[in-house]
């Protein structure tokens, strides 16, 4: 519409000349169309339609090239061409392969004559008779949030009256009533109650992950036993481990460099302690998202909360990623993915590149959330002096004393010295005698070749003191006309020192005018090119200026008003914080490093010292806690998820499907994680409650009410008992988020106490046990197997372990020897890419990602382990020694390992086995113990 | 001696199962994975992937660039790739190859003197000179070549193949990784991520080193077979009683996998015993020569696994190819260690008729820059590099795709790593678009949302 009116107004203003022009244009237009049809269209069809046409059903990058409107509007990167200006057209840019990230056609470059055709076409005004409208191509699907808000996962918790049941005597609590109603609706009856021995074994493993203590189990009532187990420290060790599965907890980075997370263990123990003292789930969530920002009543609470926020930092990272913005955004993505799955049962990560294909999460939602986390510093600096390897944020915990700060400073200095050493050694191997080779290349340097030159400048190699192959000078001609413009681009926002390189000479000008167009202002500087440059004899600082990343960074060397030679060699931008580093390097290069002994140490000595200090540092009182970036703020949406394809800025906000209010007020320089945390635990966020109660249920009943415990989205399963799910969620909310209260209610239900069944009408009618009309069998978890093997011999330590990973050094790639650690398995080091074999083969959670539901695999390696592992054989031998002294060793072994006496036939078989084993009775008993430990009866709960 | 109790147990199991057979079969299906079916007729049944960790240089091996030689020491006439180390970006000067090239065989493909033995077999190779990958650093690029993802945890290609095809040999895993990298993602590179754990690679050796006694984890070839068999009898009797009571499929699975483990314990050491190979075969692989012994044994082991029906065999060098400096010294040494073993493997596969349905793939996570880094090295170059394939339905004696005049950027018939993965799956009879796995609400595939099969290289 706008275009129409404007063209009409143009005609009205000057109709006569325009008519003439139109007549001439008519024939030109006909020629143009002929050119298009003859040369351009076939080319577009051949090279472009496959991915950019309605016919092919593809519109890659949002671009259609099968109609004029397609290239006019363009794709995600804007209009494909500028009519009449090939040089400014994105299309030409991409077919010429000028940018390695945007090359079209992607597989092979077009022939030069084809490229010329396109160029000519655009130059002649891009005549294009293809008038199909863009609207005729497929309209974009949008998310209907209002519809989504009505579905079971997102709507308000539903208050449903308890259903009537026929068998009124059966239920013991509301859970039972809700479950029984569904069973009766299917005309079935619940299974019989489990016998008490089976039930207590089930309960003991479910609540503590350990076999029952026989004397407690036999002396206490079921209810009293429930209380005993809930109060046991082993409860937190079992249920904390469930949370650690969700938090992708690990003691090492994995990814590209498997550096040890020395401080992660504090988080592990925080989780265990939180479950043991029944910390409100809402506080638990708050602290993990924003613990470092929360106020605290004392140092102890402050410590706890900082440690809790380690949750955000635990993910695997590609620390060698050279594009640091990508590294930051990948880290954000990993965090969003984990928060989404673990806390909300949503795959938020799917919306990074486009609106979620199935769930009501828009790409805008993603970047609204990403803003909170991109404002949070996780990765930073360098690790161990490796220039291209990023490290992560660690923060001193309160009460750590001054020792830590000193230590940290020393390590920082050592790392710096080490890096410089590496750089210097490297530079020394570089050929050439130019001064440059002795200078560490700090900051960003532009050689004269990258300047836009006005007028004729002369190349010279006269002086050896130069940057690069040569430098240029104005030859003292065309003063005022000649100038050299450097247009820079800086990686980070900040204060930079600008330096000019020139070989100083007596006939140079003493008052060279330089213009620095910085972010804040335009600055004029005059400087003297007869004076020897002060930095390395090559560069002279002209001042410090504020530049913004992506902002204006121009330095212009002028010749106006000068008389002597004006020389242009290079311009350097060095960040303020790199200047100290550089001066140290120069001192080192020049051998004038007397000030700092670090600079005269050999690489080997430095490395040794560094390792020593890092060793000391790993014992320091630190938390792997994040902190807010000083320049916290909203982030730009990234088109197709590409880091460098900026879309609009998206204000930080919560998920649209669950939140309709205005974007939260966030103070400048603050990430807004406090607000995010508050919203996460608000009653409005019904997913939080639904997801956690479902998880608790799944761990106790063998299957979630929503069986896809990490996915409450459309691709997940629907709840089998929606009323029960919401009932539990409301109870949980009303209890203030008490995990123990809900677990107690669940295990006291009659439903929990049902027998498991192999063959019954219930199994036939409901093989997956969606009705919970019987209990499910389950194999012991990896930790339960190892812990039981240690518990049976009396070797298991009940102590809480601290930093078990740190003795393995700076990376956890090497095989770990764990046989000396008698702690519960939850305390074993969790090395990414290198899990303890005893745990890994029985499906311990993969610490790379949220694992609400461990897969159950049955693979021969498990069988080989059960047959051959030295650990199980050692435990069997120990049990055999203990059995040897017993009057009835066979019965004792059955009782100890399986918790029951053998039936007569089984006892006879076992005794026969021993009798046929030859003379070594202890070995025979060890073999029997081995068999019992490897038996499915030991490995499965009923 | 061993077979008797085994048969007894099998009988006992069958009779004890009493109409329980369907469940038993299901148990095996989860335990050992049945083929999910092919999408089309396969050209190859298995893959041997010769992984050169660190990134060998294309312009010093199989991508001859006369112009690079001619302009040695001159400035690269176009912009170098982004994210280069300043030590190479600041100079951007061409470094001609220090090695002589010549044409080989009937097809006349170019090969440098770095790989004299492999060069003699160029008529068997399909050299892809237009590879591209993602990841400027090793961490990303190594994961990219093995898992198709540069920054996220995804199943490795061998796991996808195991998931898609299962094993040809019930007593051996479908995916074996010989001396896999311990760093740069380590086990991620043969891991199954969210695929069922049975599909992860079974390893033998580590970090490019194959110890003399290297074997599968927890395999105890030295166990007293009679003794173990007796224990197994008792164990399985107990387990069957337990199964009778519970009728629980995973219990059944465990009983089956005990049998499988017992068989594997007998079979696998036989496959891995390369000592009994005849002397001339060992010599063919360079075994016994200090320079080539390690990789030679890896390659010979790979052939034996291939013969035994393993689907995907990864054979890794140590992380040695990363010549940021001392290109001549490093590449000379590295090539010498693998040249004869690789040529030996190709010859051996061919003489046994195995090359017809075995796809051999050679390459590193990226190539190297034609511009110099420091005084005498080359930086990483995922922008354009060379990999080659042999056997398994690909053309032989051809080169596919091109880099620019200097071997820097791939410019013609580019083959992205995703395309290579799609192509490998295709050769095995799998459509990369159809081999998917539902995880966290999304159907994942090896090639993510990318990948085009390179039909142009098929024989």
Read off the pLDDT of residues A694-738 as tens digits, 9 standing for 90 and up: 999 999 999 999 999 999 998 888 999 999 999 999 999 999 999
Rounded distance between C-alpha atoms, residue A519 and residue A513, angstroms: 19
- For residue A596, the model assigns a pLDDT of 61
Give Cβ neighbours of residue B307 (< 8 Å, ≥ 6 apart): B352, B354
The C-alpha angle B269, A819, B318, rounded to 5 degrees, equals 50
Q: Which residue has the higher pLDDT, A730 or A460?
A: A730
Q: Which of B129, B162, B198, B441 to mutate to test the interface with A (most CBs of A within 10 A)?
A: B441
Cα B212 to Cα A53, B205, B264, B274, distances in angstroms: 59, 9, 20, 10
CB-CB under 8 Å, B218 with A869:
yes
Q: Predicted confidence band at A418 (pLDDT cuts at 50, 70, 90)?
A: low
Of A257, A713, A940, the CB nearest to B251: A940
pLDDT-derived band at A283, boundaries 50, 70, 90: very high
| Cβ-Cβ contacts under 8 Å, B231 against chain A | 867, 927, 930-931
What gap in Å lies between CA A393 and CA A377, rounded to an integer? 7
A858 touches chain B (CB under 8 A): yes
Instruction: Quickly state the pLDDT bin for A5 (edges 50, 70, 90).
Output: very low
Q: CA B173 to CA B168: how far, in whole Å?
A: 9
Interatomic CA distance for residues A79 and A69, integer angstroms: 10
pTM of the complete model: 0.75
CB contact set of A501 (below 8 Å; sequence gap of 6+):
A466, A467, A471, A533, A538, A539, A540, A569, A570, A571, A572
Interchain pair A867, B265: CB under 8 A: yes
Given a cut of 70, whether residue A6 has pLDDT beyond it is no
Give residue A369's pLDDT band: very low, low, confident or very high (50, 70, 90).
Answer: very high
Q: A246 is written with which tokens?
A: 């969700």
Q: What is the 3-state secondary structure (H, E, C) of A447-509?
A: EHHHCEEECCCEEECCCCCCCCCCEEECCCCCCCCCEEEEECCCCCCEEEEEEEECCCCCCEC
Question: CB-CB: which of A813, A859, A866 is closest to B197?
Answer: A859
- This complex has an ipTM of 0.74
User: Which of A:752-781 have CB within 8 Å of B?
Assistant: 756, 758-759, 763, 777, 779
Do residue B375 and residue A109 have CB atoms under 8 angstroms apart?
no
What pLDDT is recorded for position A435? 36
* Mean pLDDT computed over A784-799: 95
Regions of chain B with pLDDT less than 50:
1-35
A 236-255: CB under 8 A from B: 254-255
Higher pLDDT, A245 or B139: A245
Q: With contact defined as beta carbons under 8 Å apart, do A191 and A760 qualify?
A: yes
Q: In this complex, do A864 and B217 lie within 8 Å of one another by their Cβ atoms?
A: yes
Q: Which residues of A touch B247 (CB under 8 A)?
A: 758-759, 763
Q: Which residues of A touch B81 (CB under 8 A)?
A: 100
Q: Please tell me the distance in Å from A831's CA to the nearest CA on chain B.
A: 11
Residue A107's pLDDT is 86
Task: For residue A252, list chain B residues with Cβ-Cβ distance below 8 A.
Answer: none
User: Do B232 and A867 make contact, defined as CB atoms within 8 angstroms?
Assistant: yes
Tell me if B412 and A777 make a contact (CB, 8 A cut-off): no
Residue A470, CA distances (Å) to A502, A539, B373 in order: 10, 15, 20
Are A930 and B231 a contacting pair at CB < 8 A?
Answer: yes
In Å, how far is A230's CA from the nearest CA of chain B?
A: 29
Indicate the range of A129-138, A591-600, B368-377 predicted with least confidence.
A591-600
Closest Cβ opposite residue A429 in set B140, B248, B375: B375
pLDDT for position A711? 92
Which residues does chain A have within 8 Å of residue B267's beta carbon, measured at their own beta carbons?
none
Q: Which residues of B touch A445 (CB under 8 A)?
A: 90
- The residue among B75, B218, B319 with the most chain A CBs within 10 A of its CB, best to mutate, is B218
Chain CA centroid to CA A111, Å? 42
Test A860 with B260 for CB contact under 8 angstroms.
yes
Which of B30, B142, B154, B197 should we substitute to test contact with A (largest number of A Cβ atoms within 10 Å)?
A: B197
* Preferred mutation among A104, A387, A859 to probe B, highest tally of B CBs within 10 A: A859
CB contact under 8 A, B139 and A441: no
């Amino acid at each position: 519409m706008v275009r129409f009116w404007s063209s009409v107004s143009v005609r009205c203003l000057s109709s006569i000349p325009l008519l003439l022009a139109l007549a001439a244009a008519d024939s030109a237009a006909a020629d143009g169309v002929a050119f298009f049809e003859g040369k351009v269209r076939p080319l577009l069809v051949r090279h472009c339609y496959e991915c950019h046409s309605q016919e092919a059903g593809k519109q890659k990058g949002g671009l259609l090239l099968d109609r004029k409107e397609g290239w006019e509007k363009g794709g995600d990167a804007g209009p494909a061409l500028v009519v009449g200006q090939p040089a400014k057209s994105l299309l030409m840019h991409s077919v010429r392969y000028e940018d390695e990230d945007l090359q079209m056609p992607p597989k092979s470059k077009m022939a030069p004559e084809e490229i010329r055709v396109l160029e000519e076409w655009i130059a002649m005004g891009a005549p294009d008779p293809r008038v199909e409208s863009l609207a005729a191509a497929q309209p974009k699907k949008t998310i209907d949030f209002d519809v989504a808000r009505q579905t079971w996962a997102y709507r308000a918790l539903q208050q449903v009256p308890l259903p009537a049941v026929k068998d009124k005597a059966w239920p013991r609590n509301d859970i039972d009533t809700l479950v029984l109603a569904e069973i009766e609706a299917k005309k079935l009856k619940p299974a019989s109650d489990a016998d008490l021995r089976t039930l207590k074994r089930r309960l003991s493993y479910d609540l503590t992950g350990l076999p029952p203590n026989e004397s407690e189990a036999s002396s206490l009532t079921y209810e009293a036993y429930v209380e005993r187990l809930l109060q046991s420290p082993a409860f937190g060790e079992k249920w904390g481990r469930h949370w650690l599965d969700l938090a992708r907890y690990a003691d090492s980075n994995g990814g590209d460099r498997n550096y040890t997370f020395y401080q992660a263990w504090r988080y592990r123990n925080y989780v265990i302690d939180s479950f043991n003292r029944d910390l409100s789930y809402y506080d638990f969530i708050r602290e993990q998202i924003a613990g470092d920002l929360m106020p605290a009543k004392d140092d102890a609470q402050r410590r706890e909360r900082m440690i809790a926020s380690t949750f955000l930092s635990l993910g695997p990272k590609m620390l060698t990623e050279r594009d640091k913005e990508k590294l930051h955004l990948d880290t954000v993505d990993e965090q969003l993915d984990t928060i989404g799955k673990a806390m909300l049962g949503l795959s938020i990560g799917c919306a990074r590149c486009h609106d979620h294909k199935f769930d009501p999460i828009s790409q805008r939602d993603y970047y609204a959330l990403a803003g909170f986390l991109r404002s949070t510093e996780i990765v930073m600096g360098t690790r161990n002096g490796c220039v291209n390897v990023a490290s992560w944020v660690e923060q001193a915990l309160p009460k750590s004393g001054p020792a830590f700060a000193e230590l940290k400073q020393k390590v920082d200095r050592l790392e710096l010295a080490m890096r410089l050493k590496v750089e210097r050694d490297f530079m020394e191997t570089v050929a050439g005698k130019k001064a440059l080779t002795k200078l560490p290349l700090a900051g960003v340097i532009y050689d004269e070749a990258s300047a836009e030159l006005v007028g004729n400048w002369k190349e010279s190699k006269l002086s050896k003191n130069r940057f690069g192959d040569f430098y240029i000078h104005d030859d003292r001609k065309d003063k005022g006309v000649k100038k050299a413009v450097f247009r820079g681009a800086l990686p980070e926002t900040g204060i930079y020192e600008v330096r000019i390189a020139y070989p100083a000479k007596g006939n140079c000008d003493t008052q060279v005018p330089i213009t620095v167009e910085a972010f804040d202002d335009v600055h004029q500087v005059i400087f003297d090119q007869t004076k020897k440059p002060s930095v390395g004899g090559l560069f002279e600082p002209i001042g410090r200026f504020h530049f913004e990343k992506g902002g204006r960074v121009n330095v212009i060397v002028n010749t106006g008003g000068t008389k002597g030679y004006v020389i242009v060699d290079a311009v350097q931008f060095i960040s303020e914080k790199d200047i100290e580093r550089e001066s140290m390097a120069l001192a080192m290069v020049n051998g004038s490093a007397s000030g700092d002994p670090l600079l005269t140490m050999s690489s080997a000595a430095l490395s040794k010292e560094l390792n020593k200090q890092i060793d000391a540092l790993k014992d320091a009182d630190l938390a792997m806690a994040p902190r807010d970036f000083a320049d916290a703020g909203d982030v730009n949406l990234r088109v197709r998820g590409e880091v460098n394809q900026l879309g609009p800025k998206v204000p930080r906000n919560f998920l649209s499907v669950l939140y309709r209010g205005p974007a939260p007020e966030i103070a400048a320089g603050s990430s807004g994680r406090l607000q995010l945390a508050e919203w996460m635990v608000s009653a409005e966020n019904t997913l939080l409650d639904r997801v956690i109660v479902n998880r608790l249920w799944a761990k106790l009943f063998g299957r979630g009410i929503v069986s896809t415990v990490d996915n409450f989205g459309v691709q997940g399963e629907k709840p089998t008992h929606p009323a029960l799910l919401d009932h539990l969620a409301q109870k949980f909310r009303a209890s203030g988020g008490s995990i123990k209260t809900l677990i107690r209610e669940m295990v006291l239900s009659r439903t929990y106490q049902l027998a498991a069944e192999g063959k019954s009408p219930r199994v036939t009618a409901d093989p997956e046990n969606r009705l919970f009309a019987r209990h499910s069998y389950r194999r012991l978890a990896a930790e339960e197997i190892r812990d039981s093997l240690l518990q049976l011999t009396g070797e298991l330590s009940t102590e809480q372990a601290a930093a078990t990973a740190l003795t393995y050094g700076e990376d956890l790639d090497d095989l770990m020897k764990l046989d000396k650690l008698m702690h519960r398995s939850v305390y074993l080091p969790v090395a990414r890419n290198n899990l303890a074999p005893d745990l890994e083969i029985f499906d311990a959670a993969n610490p790379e990602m949220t694992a609400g539901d461990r897969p159950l695999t049955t693979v021969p390696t498990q069988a080989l382990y059960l047959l051959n592992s030295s650990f199980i054989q050692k435990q069997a031998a120990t049990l055999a020694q203990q059995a040897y002294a017993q009057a009835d060793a066979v019965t004792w072994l059955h009782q100890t390992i399986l918790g029951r006496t053998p039936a007569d036939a089984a006892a006879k078989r076992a005794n026969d086995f021993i009798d046929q084993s030859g003379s070594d009775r202890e070995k025979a008993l060890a073999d029997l113990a081995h068999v019992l430990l490897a038996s499915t009866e030991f490995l499965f709960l009923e | 001696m061993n077979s008797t109790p085994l048969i007894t147990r099998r009988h006992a199991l069958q009779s004890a199962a009493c109409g329980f057979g369907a469940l038993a079969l299901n148990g095996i299906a989860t335990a050992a994975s049945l083929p999910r079916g092919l999408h089309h007729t396969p050209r190859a049944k298995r893959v041997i992937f010769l992984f050169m960790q660190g990134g060998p240089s294309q312009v010093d091996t199989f991508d001859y660039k006369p112009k690079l030689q001619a302009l040695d020491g001159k400035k690269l006439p176009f912009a170098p790739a982004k994210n280069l180390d300043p030590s190479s970006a600041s100079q951007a000067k061409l470094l001609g190859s220090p090695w002589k090239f010549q044409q080989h065989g009937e097809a006349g493909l170019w090969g440098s003197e770095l790989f004299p033995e492999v060069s003699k077999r160029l008529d068997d190779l399909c050299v892809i000179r237009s590879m591209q990958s993602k990841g400027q650093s090793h961490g990303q690029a190594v994961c990219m070549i093995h898992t198709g993802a540069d920054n996220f945890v995804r199943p490795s290609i061998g796991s996808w193949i195991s998931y898609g095809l299962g094993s040809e040999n019930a007593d051996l895993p479908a995916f074996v990784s010989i001396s896999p990298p311990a760093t740069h993602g380590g086990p991620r590179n043969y891991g199954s991520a969210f695929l069922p754990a049975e599909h992860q690679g079974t390893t033998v050796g580590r970090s490019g080193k194959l110890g003399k006694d290297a074997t599968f984890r927890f395999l105890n070839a030295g166990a007293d077979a009679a003794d173990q068999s007796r224990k197994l009898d008792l164990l399985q009797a107990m387990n069957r009683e337990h199964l009778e009571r519970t009728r629980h499929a995973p219990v059944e699975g465990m009983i089956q996998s005990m049998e499988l483990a017992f068989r594997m314990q007998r079979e696998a050491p036989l496959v891995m015993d390369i000592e009994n190979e005849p002397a001339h075969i060992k010599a063919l692989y360079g075994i016994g020569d200090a320079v080539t012994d390690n990789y030679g044994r890896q390659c010979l082991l790979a052939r034996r696994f291939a013969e035994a029906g393993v689907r995907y065999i990864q054979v890794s060098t140590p992380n040695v190819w990363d010549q940021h400096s001392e290109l001549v010294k490093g590449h000379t040494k590295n090539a010498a260690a693998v040249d004869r073993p690789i040529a030996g493997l190709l010859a051996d596969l061919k003489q046994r008729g195995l090359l017809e349905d075995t796809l051999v793939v050679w390459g590193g996570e990226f190539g190297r820059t034609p511009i110099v880094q420091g005084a005498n090295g080359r930086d990483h170059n995922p922008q354009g590099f060379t990999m080659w394939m042999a056997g398994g339905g690909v053309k032989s004696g051809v080169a596919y795709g091109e880099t620019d005049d200097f071997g820097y950027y791939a410019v013609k018939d580019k083959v992205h790593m995703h395309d290579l993965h799609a192509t490998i799956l295709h050769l095995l009879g799998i459509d990369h678009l159809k081999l998917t796995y539902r995880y966290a609400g999304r159907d994942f595939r090896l090639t993510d949302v990318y990948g085009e099969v390179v039909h142009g290289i098929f024989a």
